[in-house]
């Protein structure tokens, strides 16, 4: 894998291009979850299409687009504050227009030297992403960091890092797209932003409180293990962890679909099929005892899954995911065939109803909602295949060739078992594939690759090395 060191300019603050409202904006109950108090990153790679490299001063155009974007997304130019409330502190956005961080960098490496397709693990990713310091410290710091790295071939790498308490992956990419649109000279963003955090904020009533208590009881009962004493956790941290990305294209998905009963194959989404397959192969690769309870947690986004009235508006860029969870004994999961795993994932998805979402919001508002998985026996998944696409473009002189989430940084608590962000890419044949990054101990990774190869009827599982 290619290695390099980026030469970075001194970080500079970019302010909104014009005066913006001075106010305090409340976050939603979803935004204020402790697990989101960190930063999240999207990284995008662009190939230069014109002789001689990029147009003059691409950094200037990008900074101008960023300054214009902050007029529309002016809370992002502010800072998070903690306000005292009767039962603790409340996180809010103080719209101070203090600005965001921009860094220009150069790297003596060509895009062709990166492995293709561009999927995690990206080489020297720390050289391409802004240093935010302590990623778990978010109060009083800039909410957005953007690094533009010019490559020797004229290509450009853009890495946008934002505070997760203010945006989720969909919101981050929406802001990213706005910056690039305005940097190209568009008059305004294709999608105008909407704050509307009150739509994901609880309003208590006696009925809601009772429902919240019932949901709390259901959640705790779901999390219970069998009566058999659990063995010690797998020593994931005693062996070097490695990351590989596995590709699921039309061929692999067709094989998975044909491996379950026709009724289930017709009704299952691509996400359900791949999640079930990867969860099952991961459990087998980690060699859990048959009685171990293993689970997969994945995110259901309220933008599309919640049928509330009014719905979340187009342009909403706050956090909107709710956790769905499937659980089984490892023996049941691994011995029951792919169909059983698909059924479990599908049933978990159906449990994220409007009633469930409202109950979770009430628990969040009361500080009683906890996300504390057993990281040795839980597989966490986030589907961001629809977040980044070729509409993220720098103009006719460059084309997007890949990108997505580089992975979690410190501050999330998932270092030993990081989530898998499902992304999309095109393979060598031009087919659109789902990219599944996987982080496992080295010996378990070899077993996982063999399991995937056997399940998809591909002699060697398609993956990055």
Q: Is the peptide bond before 318 cis (omega within 30 degrees of 0)?
A: no
Q: How far is the C-alpha of 244 from the C-alpha of 437, rounded, in Å?
A: 6
Catalytic residue chosen out of the listed positions 164, 346, 356, 412: 164
H helices present in 149-205, as ranges: 169-183
Count CB-CB contacts under 10 A for residue 367.
13
Q: Count Cα atoms within 13 angstroms, Cβ side, for 18.
A: 4
H helices present in 157-241, as ranges: 169-183, 206-223
Asked if 164 is an active-site residue, the reply is yes
Indicate the burial class of 229 (C-beta count within 10 angstroms; 0-12, 13-18, 19 or more).
exposed
Q: Count Cα atoms within 13 angstroms, Cβ side, for 301.
A: 19
Q: How far is the C-alpha of 348 from the C-alpha of 345, rounded, in Å?
A: 5
Three-class DSSP category at 318: coil
Q: How far is the C-alpha of 399 from the C-alpha of 341, rounded, in Å?
A: 39
> What is the separation of C-alpha 32 from the centre of its chain, rounded to a whole number of angstroms?
17
Our CA dihedral for 450, 326, 250, 452, rounded to 10 degrees, sits at 0
Q: How far is the C-alpha of 110 from the C-alpha of 153, rounded, in Å?
A: 5
Residues 6+ apart with CB under 8 A from 418: 380, 407, 408, 412, 439
Largest CA distance in the chain: 68
Q: Which residue reads 């378990």 in tokens?
A: 444
Quick one: which H or E segment has residue 58?
helix 58-72
Q: How far is the C-alpha of 168 from the C-alpha of 116, rounded, in Å?
A: 27
The two tokens of residue 334 are 């691994």
Indicate the burial class of 212 (C-beta count within 10 angstroms; 0-12, 13-18, 19 or more).
buried
The pair phi, psi for residue 210, each rounded to 5°, is -65, -40
Quick one: which H or E segment has residue 342?
helix 337-350
Residues listed for the chain: 465
Report which of 443, 449, 442, 121 is spatially closest to residue 281, judged by C-alpha positions. 449
Contact criterion met (CB below 8 Å) for 42 and 387? yes
Active site residues: 164
């Amino acid at each position: 894998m290619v290695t390099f060191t980026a030469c970075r300019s001194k970080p500079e603050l970019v302010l909104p291009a014009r005066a913006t409202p001075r106010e305090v904006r409340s976050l939603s109950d979803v935004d204020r979850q402790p697990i989101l108090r960190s930063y999240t990153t999207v990284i995008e790679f662009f190939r230069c299409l014109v002789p001689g490299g990029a147009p003059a001063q691409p950094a200037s155009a990008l900074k101008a687009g960023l300054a214009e974007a902050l007029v529309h997304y002016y809370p992002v130019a502010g800072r998070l504050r903690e306000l005292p409330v009767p039962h603790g502190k409340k996180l809010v956005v103080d719209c101070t227009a203090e600005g965001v961080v921009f860094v220009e960098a150069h790297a003596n490496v060509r895009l062709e030297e990166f492995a293709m397709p561009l999927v995690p693990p990206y080489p020297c990713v720390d050289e391409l992403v802004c240093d935010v310091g302590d990623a778990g410290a978010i109060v009083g710091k800039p909410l957005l960091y953007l690094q533009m790295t010019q490559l020797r071939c004229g290509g450009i790498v853009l890495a946008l890092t934002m505070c997760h308490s203010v945006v989720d992956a969909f919101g981050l990419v929406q802001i990213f797209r706005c910056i690039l649109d305005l940097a190209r000279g568009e008059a305004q963003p294709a999608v105008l932003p909407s704050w509307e955090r009150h739509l994901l904020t609880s309003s208590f009533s006696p009925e809601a409180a009772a429902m919240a208590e019932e949901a709390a009881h259901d959640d705790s009962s779901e999390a219970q293990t069998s009566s058999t004493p659990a063995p010690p956790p797998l020593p994931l941290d005693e062996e070097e962890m490695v990351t590989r990305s596995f590709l699921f294209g039309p061929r692999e998905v067709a094989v998975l679909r044909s491996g379950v009963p026709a009724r289930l194959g017709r009704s299952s989404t691509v996400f359900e099929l791949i999640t079930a397959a990867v969860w099952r192969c991961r459990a087998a690769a980690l060699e859990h005892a048959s009685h171990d309870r293993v689970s997969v947690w994945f995110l259901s986004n309220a933008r599309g899954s919640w049928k509330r009235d009014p719905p979340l508006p187009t342009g909403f860029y706050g956090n909107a995911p709710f956790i769905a969870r499937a659980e089984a004994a490892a023996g049941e999961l691994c011995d029951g065939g792919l169909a059983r795993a698909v059924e479990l994932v599908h049933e978990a998805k159906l449990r994220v109803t409007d009633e469930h979402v409202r109950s979770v919001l009430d628990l969040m508002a009361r500080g009683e909602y906890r996300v504390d998985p057993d990281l040795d026996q839980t597989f966490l998944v986030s589907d961001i295949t629809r977040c980044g696409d070729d509409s993220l473009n720098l103009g006719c002189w460059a084309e997007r060739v890949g990108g997505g989430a580089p992975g979690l940084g410190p501050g999330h608590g998932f270092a030993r078992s990081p989530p898998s962000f499902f992304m999309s890419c095109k393979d060598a044949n031009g087919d659109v594939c789902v990219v599944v990054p996987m982080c496992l101990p080295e010996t378990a990774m070899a077993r996982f690759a063999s399991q995937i190869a056997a399940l998809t009827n591909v002699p060697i599982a398609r993956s990055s090395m």
